[in-house]
Amino acid sequence: MIDYKKLAKKYHNEIVENLTKWININSVYDESTIKENAPFGKGVSEALNYIATLAKEKGFNVDTCDGYCVEISYGKGDLISIFAHADVVPVSGEWLYPPFSGEVHDGKMYGRGTSDDKGPSLAAFYALCLLKDNNLINNYQVKLIIGGNEESGSKCLEHYFHVLKKPYPKYGFTPDGEFPLIYGEKGIANYKVEQNIKFENVVKIEGGVVANSVIDKAYAIIKAKPDIKEFVSLHFKFMECPYNLIPLEDNMYKLEVIGKAAHGSLPHEGKNAALILMNCLAIYYNDHSLNTVFKYYEDTNGKALGTFYETELLHQTTYNVGLLKYENEKLEYVVNFRYPENVKVDEVINKLNALNIGKVSLLSESEPLLIDPNSKMVQTLLKVYQEETNDYKTKIMTIGGGTYAKESKNTLAFGSHFPNRDDRIHNCNETITIEDLLSSISIYAHAIDELGKL
């Protein structure tokens, strides 16, 4: 038996030192500094160069893929690929320590990218170092691909697979999800609904910033009588929504409603401000046409739409109205739609068009991911996780969201978020514990070794 934990400990100082330096590079997508071989801007490019240099120093083969990603490879034979990313989301909120400092306090490193995904990327990198330093890479080829655009569209892997025509792996995983592993992800589509319609007394309605988030704030410009004050006060008290009614000139008002944000894959956990606002106006004006969107999308599983589907593995369809606008007698909204493996998106679009509530058109589509939970790959990775952590309780899972794994084939998310860890991904005070970082090295080294033997 190889003691991966013991072997991983040797890299303790190195990984902490290099992760700090890597966190010091602000690698948020930056359109203003895009140039040749730096398609995502200067910061991302520097972060990719940093890992490329490190990998060369360690004796790996390195391909910098036109600046889209860094491919670190070693060995010959069946291909095992790991997909991680060096770009980060922008910072906001109040940070205890500067977000690009990588300061360590009480065994935790703080900083943007510590958990998502520079820490896990480096853990995978040192897993490769561990295997190579101990001559354990035999009869297989391992590649660690570090992308530069996961957070804003994954154009990195699109370039990698579709422009550079790099091969898909026999087995792949991404350390950009959760442990033990995610063997299924719902399909995700965005569709747009456009309807020419006139709402009496309503000049404008607007809400939402992105399709894959529940609208937490919406407003309307309306013409109303003074009784609107009492009406909205009672209505929003009942709905438990904060609101703001601002009188404008000529009996006009601006009515702003606060709902509750939630991820687009979990619309039932939010309160859609735009739908609640339209429902309120429909009742006030006694105008059914204003209530259509609310009526159809209040149930977030599509039952009212007649397009509800469910399977045992990937569960129920979800529909989230993420962007909505009404102006100049035109209503437009974008729905983030998530679906299990038995759904045909074209059929859903046809059914929605048949409802005659506007023209429905598909904007984007990414198919579901499903790897047989009883497959050798899933069972091997689960066994490795259990042996390395002694956690035999946490079950393998499916999710409504999409991970980096979808960009590849035969690939699933394997860590590196440990159960019950508050790592605050995409939030202020993002952290990773040094202990988890080291555990991830041993889990990944062990996993690659076992996959190499399959």
Query: Which residues of the chain form contacts with Zn ion (CB under 5 A)?
Result: 116-117, 176
Give just the sign of the alpha carbon dihedral 389, 390, 396, 399.
negative
CB count in 10 Å sphere of residue 389: 16
Q: What does the alpha-carbon distance between residue 87 and residue 29 come to, in Å, rounded to a whole number?
A: 7
Q: What does the alpha-carbon distance between residue 175 and residue 81 come to, in Å, rounded to a whole number?
A: 11
Q: Which is nearer to Zn ion, 176 or 185 (CB)?
A: 176
Q: Which is nearer to Zn ion, 117 or 407 (CB)?
A: 117
Which helix (H) or strand (E) is 442 found in, with range?
helix 434-453
Q: How far is the CB of 400 from Zn ion (least distance, A)?
A: 16
Q: Which is nearer to Zn ion, 28 or 334 (CB)?
A: 28
Q: Which is nearer to Zn ion, 116 or 430 (CB)?
A: 116
In this structure, are residues 292 and 357 in contact, taking their beta carbons and an 8 Å threshold?
A: yes
Pairing between β-strand 187-196 and β-strand 359-366 as defined by DSSP bridges: antiparallel
Q: How far is the CB of 176 from Zn ion (least distance, A)?
A: 4
Q: How far is the CB of 80 from Zn ion (least distance, A)?
A: 20
Q: What does the alpha-carbon distance between residue 430 and residue 181 come to, in Å, rounded to a whole number?
A: 21
Vertex 193: Cα angle to 89 and 244 (nearest 5): 65
SS3 421: coil
Partners of 177 in the β-ladder = 416
What is the set of active-site residues? 87, 150
Q: Which is nearer to Zn ion, 117 or 216 (CB)?
A: 117
Burial class of residue 434, CB neighbours in 10 A (0-12, 13-18, 19+): middle
Q: How far is the CB of 263 from Zn ion (least distance, A)?
A: 14
Structure tokens at 44: 């991302």
Q: Which residues contact 88 (CB under 8 A, 6 or more apart)?
A: 26, 27, 28, 112, 113, 116, 118, 151
Q: How far is the CB of 94 from Zn ion (least distance, A)?
A: 22
